[in-house]
Chain A
């Protein structure tokens, strides 16, 4: 019995070191520390981190902060309209993403797809996820002109990849039993998915979609900077004019909007669970 345990320990030790014994276990923590220090130096060097510049810039930031009080809510109507634009952009963009993601997620889940279609779908959605909505919005501004519509398209295309990945993983985690039972009735794949798979994964899919929506509301505030409209565009214009009380008011509106959306999402998710 003890021999067997020793054998297992030896095998586990070999696995742990990848089958090689070129580095003594005692030296491993030192090597890890060395790699961390080297990695940190590399990042600092290329990110051009300069604490002196930060120290020189702090007084300027402080003076801006002082000049931004009190926040300027004089034209609140415009700010709220711009916030509504941002919210609409994120909501429509997320909906567009969900529509594109619906067939993609089935193709990108191992238990509902074939090997080749799985690989192809995963490649497509990695491409969509790999390019940020900011970059897509830049491209769409050039294609369809300035305004929130470019933002909707940018968010939609990028979100499609994220939503499809999230949903495909939910599908992969679904209990296989009901699907197996449905397939043994001789039903087609589409019917099996709709009848046996969808009810099981739908709450998790909606919950994931809400997360993406909340994220999109936050991220779409920046899209205005590239001309995709919304409250981000208002923010950029006022920073360019150095109108700090107005900038502060815009930041407060953004915070209120994002907090309200986060709360709404949490309430819906709680009801779903």
Chain B
């Protein structure tokens, strides 16, 4: 069991066509690891297997101390509260404000009537405002998600993971849809989350230069996740 991320001997195939086999990976708390690989290499499949959005064929996954491969239903939902996820396409609720989207991180603990009425507890609101300020969006908290730029939307998605209080952060190509400057902003925030908050961060990328610049460690999925380099 580990407080960070541990994947052991993971295998997944689609219609008998293997995506990966015997895949093992460790990310320690406070470490920012970049997962490199070309499109179709299985990075998204690996991350989806880790959250159990997809079931792997074989192997063990531990995230923030939870044996994800053993969990079902309520126990799985409960474990997911400790796992933040950032998507390539942000996946924000477009008609909600940045603040409400950040509050999504507290969905599991907020009563249904508060969501329906939009009357959130002061503590939750403060956490969301603090998270938005941390990603540089304090002044855009009341702006609807569909009025934000791609980079700003991705920062709201990171704020959502922060409000969730997750111990592990998984990111699936979070900068693939962003301009170079926004990409650097987002990766900088993710690195600070790993270093300052002690989260284990695993981030799939396909830009070698960005991975080398921001990550503590770079692993290539095509090489069964053996380390291929450590930035100086």
Contacts and interface: CB of A to CB of B under 8 A. Distances in A.
Interface stretch (B34-42, B103-111, B181-189, B223-231): B103-111
Given A177-B87, A192-B107, A194-B112, A184 B51 contact: yes
B150 to A, nearest CB: 14
B104 A185 contact: yes
Interface string A61-105: 000000000000000000000000000000000000000000000
Contacts of B107: 182, 185-187, 191-192, 195
A128 to B, nearest CB: 27
A197 to B, nearest CB: 9
A187 B164 CA distance: 11
A181 B87 contact: yes
B143 interface: no
B163 to A, nearest CB: 9
A181 B85 CA distance: 7
Q: Point out which of A181, A184, A186, A202 has the most chain B C-beta atoms below 10 A from its C-beta.
A: A184
A213 to B, nearest CB: 23
B232 interface: no
A196 interface: yes
Interface string B49-63: 001010000000000
B96 interface: yes
Given A181-B85, A186-B80, A186-B81, A195 B91 contact: no
A190 B77 CA distance: 13
A200 B146 CA distance: 11
B79 interface: yes
A180 interface: yes
B105 A185 contact: yes
B164 A195 contact: no
A186 B68 CA distance: 13
B89 A184 contact: no
A177 B108 CA distance: 18
B156 to A, nearest CB: 11
Interface string B81-98: 101010101111111100
A184 B53 contact: yes
Given A177-B87, A180-B91, A200-B93, A195 B80 contact: no
A191 B85 contact: no
Contacts of B142: none
A199 interface: yes
A17 B94 CA distance: 44
Given A191-B110, A191-B112, A200-B95, A181 B80 contact: no
Given A184-B80, A191-B112, A195-B104, 13 more contacts: A181-B104, A185-B80, A185-B105, A185-B108, A186-B77, A186-B78, A186-B81, A191-B110, A195-B107, A195-B115, A199-B93, A199-B96, A200-B95
21 contacts: A177-B87, A177-B89, A180-B87, A181-B87, A181-B92, A181-B104, A182-B93, A184-B83, A185-B81, A185-B106, A185-B160, A186-B78, A186-B107, A190-B112, A194-B112, A194-B115, A195-B93, A195-B104, A195-B115, A199-B94, A200-B95
Interface of A: 175, 177-178, 180-188, 190-192, 194-196, 199-200, 202
